[in-house]
Amino acid sequence: MQDTLTAGAGLCDREAVEVLTSEGPQRVANLIQWGVPFDTMHGEISLGMEGAHSRPRILHAGGDATGQHIELALAARVAESDIKVLEYTLATRLVIEDGRAVAVETLNSNTGQCETYSARIIVVGTGGAGQLYKYTTNPEVATGDGVALGFRAGARVMDMEFYQFHPTALSLEGAPTFLLSEAMRGEGAVLRDREGNAFMSVYHPMADLAPRDVVSRAIASQMDKTDGGTVYLDISHLPADVVQNRFPTIYHFCLNYDLDITKEPAPVAPAAHYMMGGIKIDTWGRTNVPGLYACGEAACSAVHGANRLASNSLLDTLVFARRLVSSSLGQAPAEVQSKKKTCC
């Protein structure tokens, strides 16, 4: 809990942090029950170290493919359920009647057909807004649309000034912006200037394991000192097989661009990574608009304060989404209806 509060620069909502840290273990247990293959060592779950954590506590799967394995497990659960997934469908407006969210207007990007879906409970879970920035680790769909939908419908937003820049995105000519995981520094990777000197100890007592905002500012400072000179993330001092097994996705991605991180350092620079702000929610996922809920990166409970602690985003999504479901169960969902209309 203290690590989260410290990383958040004193601006975290303490109640939200208490919820996150107390309910997190059960949500992880759920993932294990659902088949997420977390990496193990000697029969026990392997725990990694990441920036601003006081001890190793990060679970990982497939080396550096944790998110992918969680998505696969959750997608399998959806496929086994009665949940209907509408592909190629964009939400364009939330319909408010008598002060309550009652429907979502949508556009099918393939057919151009518009439909309106009514429901007693509407949840905005649309992710972040990294595409607002030139350099981002986010996918193309991270455009902030969900927050805009909520705001236009009367939902309060908060902390929109807090956008986290991940310090180590690949900055290689000809390659897309690609996240070089925090876990690399947790395993011993070192940031170096263009002369090969480690520099993070000058900026923070935790050196390369300082909070993300500190490391990003340090890298920007180093680049300014050398008139835009390159900063490098170096893990080449570790055995090649250790790097390849622990970070297979990163290793092979870089290799596709003729960069072997087991032999040479990777050029890096900060890139937009995570939106701490969003649609304001309480610890049950409720907004100020009746019938409208939010979760994940599109929501803001202030659990992260001004700067998110590494790996708390997945935990945030799991914990508060579960609480959202619990808080909305008292309102029996209406049968979802659709009404076709012509787009103009």
User: Which residues are part of the catalytic machinery?
Assistant: 212
CA 312 from chain center: how many Å?
A: 8
Q: At what angle do helices 312-328 and 14-33 cross, to 10 degrees?
A: 90
Write the single-letter amino acid at 164.
Q
**Residues 6 or more apart from 190 whose CB is under 8 A from it?**
198, 200, 208, 233, 234, 235, 237
Which amino acid does the sequence have at 75? A
> 56 with 41: CB under 8 angstroms?
no
Dig out the tokens for 315 from the structure: 């935990």
- Tokens for 97, please give them: 């009647």
Name the residue with tokens 């290793």.
251
What is the spatial distance between Cα 248 and Cα 119, in angstroms, rounded to a whole number?
A: 43
Helical spans, DSSP H, in the chain = 2-7, 14-33, 66-79, 145-152, 182-186, 212-225, 240-246, 248-255, 312-328
**Separation between Cα atoms, residue 39 and residue 59, nearest integer Å:** 7
Q: Distance between CA atoms of 242 and 262, rounded to whole angstroms?
A: 9
Answer yes or no: are the C-beta atoms of 233 and 168 closer than 8 Å.
yes
CB-CB contact of 310 with 50 (8 Å)? yes
H/E element, 167: strand 163-170
278-280 and 114-118 strand pairing: unpaired
